[in-house]
Structure 1
Amino acid sequence: MSLRMRMLALIGLFLALLAVAGAAVMVANARDAVRAEMASALDLGIAVGQAEAGRGAVPDAVAALDRLGLRHLRFIAGDAPAEPLGDHDAGHASTPGWFAELIGVAPQAHALTGADGHVLLTVVAEPQDEVAEVWEDMRDLALATLVAGLLLLCAAWAAVGRALAPLARIEAAVRHLRAGRYEVGPGDGLAGGGVPELARLGSGIAALAGELAAAGRENRRLGQRLIEAQDRERRDIAREIHDELGAALFAIKVDAGRILRLSEEPKPEAFISERVEIAGRARAVLSMAADVHRLSRRILVRLRPAMLDQLPLGEALSGLVDEWARREPEVRWSLDVAEDGAPHGIDGLDEVLRLTIFRLAQESLVNALRHARPANVSVTVRRRTDRVEVVVTDDGPGFREGPGAAERGGLGISGMAERVRALGGELSIGPNGGQGTRVAACLPCVPAGLEGVA
């Protein structure tokens, strides 16, 4: 049953109960009123009957009393009624018998006796006329109540329908949201139609639609930037392979071919010079092979830091900082790993969380050296009971303040921000006091299964 029908059913039930209660009160009051009326009429009939009976013959007294037309009274000569009490008047046959029984007031009779004790006259008070009047009043009132109830139900039908009309538009707006169409608002019928509760609901749905639209746009923007980052990474790797690895392999090929030719066609007169050339080209091949090895390791580290598979996170971070210290010896580097009450420290974290912490430190160090050229760089990783805090600071030129700084940064910063948000954390990038840049991330220590969240 719809809400509209339920509300109308409740209103109808209330009206029916009100009508039943009113009818019960009216019947009770009518019963008391009829009884009082019959008692009063009987007293009047007794007084008039005694006066008339004392004047003359009883038949003449009965005729005289009947000519008076006293209401509710009937006079009978003697003590035996000529007909059953209450059955002589057919003028009120329209009164239902069940209603007369509901009133429950029977005719009342009183016998007047003479000096010798003989019954002269019987006075009968009959309630049919009074019951008929009560029935007519209740019938008219019931008809008026029925008409008023129908009008009230019609008005309630229209009012409830108008009040609930925004629900259909809100339902349509929710269907649009489920379908991925977020362009809804008060103009689409979410104002509530003047009902405060529906207006708040519509405003909430409109606000939710706006937030979902903004989130969708942000996701598309981040997806585009991530695709650009992937393409850029692939171009860089392809360029390194082509420029360095390809050139090194070509040089190895040339030297190896020359060595092969010299070994296959020995000339006795040039034996010493050929051995010298073979040794030189062999050393060149070894040098090129070492360069290829270093290049392959650099590419593999960019794709996935192998040290995380071999070392704990603390040692991997220490190795990362030491590597940068060897590359940039003029910069002062510091690493602080603190474990405040954590039973297993940072090494007991989930694999995805450990990789995220390593990537945050790696990308922050790259950005510090690429954009800031600082003299001091500090990395702090602090394990709390329920979260991990990663802070990287430098004393370079500084980072531009303002909301959304992480999103306005480069592709590496956007990737960090997206990764941190995917894990339910927060990333902030801003100035480090008076000078420099501070990158701070707070990640929740969720249990195993984090890969599904990421």
Structure 2
Amino acid sequence: MSLRVRMLALIGLFLALLAGAGAAVMIANARDAVRAEMASALDLGIAVGRAEAGRDAAPDAAASLDRLGLRHLRFIAGAASAEPFGDHDAGHASAPGWFAALIGVAPQAQALTGPDGRVLLTVVAEPEDEVAEVWEDMRDLALAMLVAGLLLLGAAWVAVGRALAPLGRIEAAVQRLREGVYGPGPRDGLAGGGVPELARLGTGITALAEELAAAGRENRRLGQRLIEAQDRERRDIAREIHDELGAALFAIKVDAGRILRLSEEPKPEAFISERVEIAGRARAVLSMAADVHRLSRRILVRLRPALLDQLPLGEALSGLIDEWARREPEVCWSLDIAEDGAPDGIDGLDEVLSLTVFRLAQESLVNALRHARPTRVSVSVRRRTDRVEVMVVDDGPGFAEGPVLASDEAERGGLGISGMAERVRALGGTLSIGADGGQGTRVAASLPCVPAGLERVA
């Protein structure tokens, strides 16, 4: 049953109860009024009957009194019982029997006796005409109430239909949202039709549609940037393979070919010089092989840190700091790992979150050494119950004179900063990059801890 029909049924039930209560009150009042009318008519009939019977014309008294046409009264010569309903006023239709039973007023009779005790005249007060009048009044009132009730229900049908009309448009808007159409549609379509509650609901759905549309645009922009970053990364890797790895492999090929030719065609007169050349080219091959190995390791690290596949996150971060300490011994390095209220610590993070924390620390250290020329660099990772906080601070010039960059502003920076911002935003976290107390640079990120399998969401 629709809401419109339910509301009209409730209104109809209320009108029916109101009509029933009104009818009960009217019947009770009519019963008292008819009884009072019958008592008054009987008193009048007794007075008139005594006056007429006192003239010793009892046999003709009944006929003469009936000719007077006194309302509700009937006169019978001699003793007689009251008949339930005699002739009534022709101006009123008789009331139904069930209605007369509801009124419950029976005819009243009074016998008038002479001096000798003989019954001269019987006065009968009959309520039929009065009951018929009450019936006509209640019938007319019921008809008027029925017409008014039907008009009221019709007006309520139209009013409720107009009030609930926005629900259809709201349902259509929700269906568009389910289909992925985030356009708000007609501006007046969700206005609410003058109903404040529906207006608030329509405003909320419109705002939700706009937010979903903005989120869709942001997701498309983020996806495009991720694709661009992946393409740039692939181009860089391809360039390194072509320029460095390809050149190194070509040099190895040339030296190996020369060694092969020298070993296949030995010349006794040039044995010593050939051995020297073979040894030199072998050393060149070994050097090139070492360069290829370092280049391959660099490329693999860029693709995925091998430390995370071999060690927990805490030890991987410690290994990262130790590696930079060997490369830059003049810089003071520090690592602080704190675990507040998390039984499994940072080593219990899922794979995507662990990789993001490692990449944040790795990229921040690279940026610090590339741009800041610091003498002190500290890395802090704090695992809380619902989030992980990562902070990298250096004492170089950095952003000492500049403002703090939020996540959306950080995306407009270089490729490394943009990559960090996109990673953090994809996981629902926040990233800020700015000055640390007037000098140096502070990179701070807060990432929510979510169940494993986040890679499907990201």
Q: TM-score range by the shorter chain?
A: over 0.9
Q: Is the 8 A contact 2:86 2:126 kept in 1?
A: no
Pairs within 5 Å for 1:2-401: 2-80=2-80, 84-89=83-88, 91=90, 92-184=92-184, 187-394=187-394, 395-398=396-399, 400-401=403-404
Structure 2 CA distance, aligned partners of 1:159 and 1:137? 32
* Structure-2 change in CA distance of 1:99 and 1:341 (3 Å): closer
263-272 vs 178-187, which deviates more? 178-187
TM-score normalised according to structure 1 size: 0.94
Structure 1 position 308, deviation (Å): 1.2
Structure 1 position 183, deviation (Å): 2.1
Partner of 1:420: 424
One-letter amino acid of the structure 2 residue matched with residue 48 of structure 1: V
Structure 2 gap ranges (5+): none
Structure 1 CA distance, aligned partners of 2:444 and 2:290? 38
* Structure-2 change in CA distance of 1:448 and 1:431 (3 Å): same
Aligned-residue Cα RMSD (Å) equals: 2.1
Partner deviation per Cα, 1:321-347 (whole Å, 9 max, x = no partner): 232334444543322222335433322
One-letter amino acid of the structure 2 residue matched with residue 57 of structure 1: A
Q: Is the 8 A contact 1:226 1:411 kept in 2?
A: no
Structure 2 CA distance, aligned partners of 1:356 and 1:340? 20
Partner deviation per Cα, 1:23-68 (whole Å, 9 max, x = no partner): 1111111111111111121122112211211122212322332233
* Structure-2 change in CA distance of 1:270 and 1:312 (3 Å): same
Structure 2 CA distance, aligned partners of 1:145 and 1:41? 32
Structure 2 CA distance, aligned partners of 1:242 and 1:325? 31
Structure 1 CA distance, aligned partners of 2:429 and 2:129? 89
Structure 2 CA distance, aligned partners of 1:310 and 1:424? 27
Structure 1 position 9, deviation (Å): 1.3
Q: Is the 8 A contact 1:73 1:123 kept in 2?
A: yes
Q: Is the 8 A contact 2:83 2:107 kept in 1?
A: no
Match of residue 413, structure 2, among 409, 419, 440 = 409
Structure 1 gap ranges (5+): none
412-421 vs 143-152, which deviates more? 412-421
Q: Is the 8 A contact 2:337 2:381 kept in 1?
A: yes
Structure 1 CA distance, aligned partners of 2:347 and 2:56? 130
Q: Is the 8 A contact 1:317 1:358 kept in 2?
A: yes
Secondary structure of 2:187's match?
helix
Secondary structure of 1:390's match?
strand
* Structure-2 change in CA distance of 1:217 and 1:387 (3 Å): same
Structure 1 CA distance, aligned partners of 2:314 and 2:80? 123
One-letter amino acid of the structure 1 residue matched with residue 398 of structure 2: P
How many residues of Structure 1 are paired with residues of Structure 2 in the alignment?
Answer: 453
391-400 vs 14-23, which deviates more? 391-400
One-letter amino acid of the structure 2 residue matched with residue 344 of structure 1: D
Partner deviation per Cα, 1:365-391 (whole Å, 9 max, x = no partner): 223334444443221111223332111
Structure 1 position 73, deviation (Å): 0.6
Structure 1 position 276, deviation (Å): 0.5
Structure 2 CA distance, aligned partners of 1:216 and 1:411? 23
Over the matched positions of the two proteins, sequence identity in percent amounts to 85
Q: Is the 8 A contact 1:368 1:396 kept in 2?
A: no
Structure 1 position 93, deviation (Å): 4.6
